């Protein structure tokens, strides 16, 4: 939660009446530097992406008749966030989608991922590359829950291995996209695609 954890920042939280929960409240949004809003509930990202797919927001993910979540796959005991199947226009291929939440803003519109070393994230990239090698589609979907981010780059100084593997994944045919959310006290919705900028492969 780098750059989203300044003491005294204004926050928004939700309340649940589920008695099975340990705590009734969920930290949802934080005001960053008194200007921008960041959605820091990482669990919200999957809901936003699912909603965007079902509403046809991302044209390249439209047309599939089946959408399932948390499906086991791969060689490293993983679960994919979403599996799209049965597309009449591309019936020979399934589409595997891995979702990552982006909230690390560095100023001037730049957002970085990850905000800490992510061996799990690197594993997911390897799994996505394997999916492509088997002939199916693989998509890394950056869900940008920060109103001050208009482009995404890998955080090479934080996790160089993830950044290196991300470049390899793109070269191997993994599709990479990022969509920015609009955020207010009542609603969070994905609204527009923003560019993902990768360093050149050495």
Q: What is the CATH number of the domain that holds 71?
A: 3.40.1350.60
Is residue 175 situated within a structural domain?
yes
Is residue 8 situated within a structural domain?
no
Rounded mean pLDDT, 145-150: 95
Listed in order, strand segments (DSSP E) in the chain are 11-15, 25-32, 36-39, 66-73, 78-85, 95-102, 104-107, 110-113, 137-144, 151-154, 175-183, 188-194
> Which distant-in-sequence residues (6+ apart) come within 8 Å of 144 by Cβ?
102, 111, 152, 178, 179, 180, 181, 194
Q: What is the Cα gyration radius of the chain?
A: 17
Residue 155 in this model has a pLDDT that exceeds 80: yes
Helix and strand counts by DSSP (H, E) for the chain: 3, 12
Is residue 120 situated within a structural domain?
yes
Is residue 75 situated within a structural domain?
yes
pTM: 0.90
Model confidence over 80-110: pLDDT tens digits? 999 999 999 888 899 999 999 999 999 999 9
Q: Which of 21-30, 143-152, 164-173 has the lowest mean pLDDT?
A: 21-30
Model confidence over 110-129: pLDDT tens digits? 999 999 999 999 999 999 99
In the chain, how many domains are there? 1
Alpha-carbon gap, residue 83 to 116, rounded angstroms: 27
Is residue 1 situated within a structural domain?
no
Rounded mean pLDDT, 25-38: 82
Is residue 103 situated within a structural domain?
yes
Is residue 2 situated within a structural domain?
no
Is residue 31 situated within a structural domain?
no
Q: Which domain holds residue 138?
A: 42-194
């Amino acid at each position: 939660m780098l750059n989203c954890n300044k003491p005294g920042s204004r926050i928004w939280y939700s309340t649940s009446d589920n008695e099975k929960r340990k705590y009734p409240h969920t930290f949802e949004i934080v005001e960053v530097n008194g200007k921008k809003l960041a959605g820091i509930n990482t669990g919200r990202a999957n809901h936003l992406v699912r909603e965007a797919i079902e509403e046809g927001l991302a044209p390249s993910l439209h047309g599939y008749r089946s959408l399932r979540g948390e499906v086991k796959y791969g060689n490293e005991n993983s679960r994919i966030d979403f599996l799209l199947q049965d597309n009449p226009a591309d019936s020979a291929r399934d589409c595997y989608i891995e979702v990552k939440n982006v909230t690390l803003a560095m100023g001037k519109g730049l957002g970085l991922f990850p905000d800490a070393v992510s061996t799990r994230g690197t594993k997911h990239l390897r799994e996505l590359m394997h999916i492509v090698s088997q002939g199916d589609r693989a998509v890394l979907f950056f869900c940008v829950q920060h109103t001050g981010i208009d482009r995404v780059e890998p955080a090479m100084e934080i996790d160089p291995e993830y950044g290196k593997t991300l470049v390899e994944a793109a070269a191997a045919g993994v599709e990479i996209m990022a969509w920015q959310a609009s955020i207010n006290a009542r609603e969070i919705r994905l609204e527009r695609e923003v560019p993902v900028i990768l360093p050149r492969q050495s």
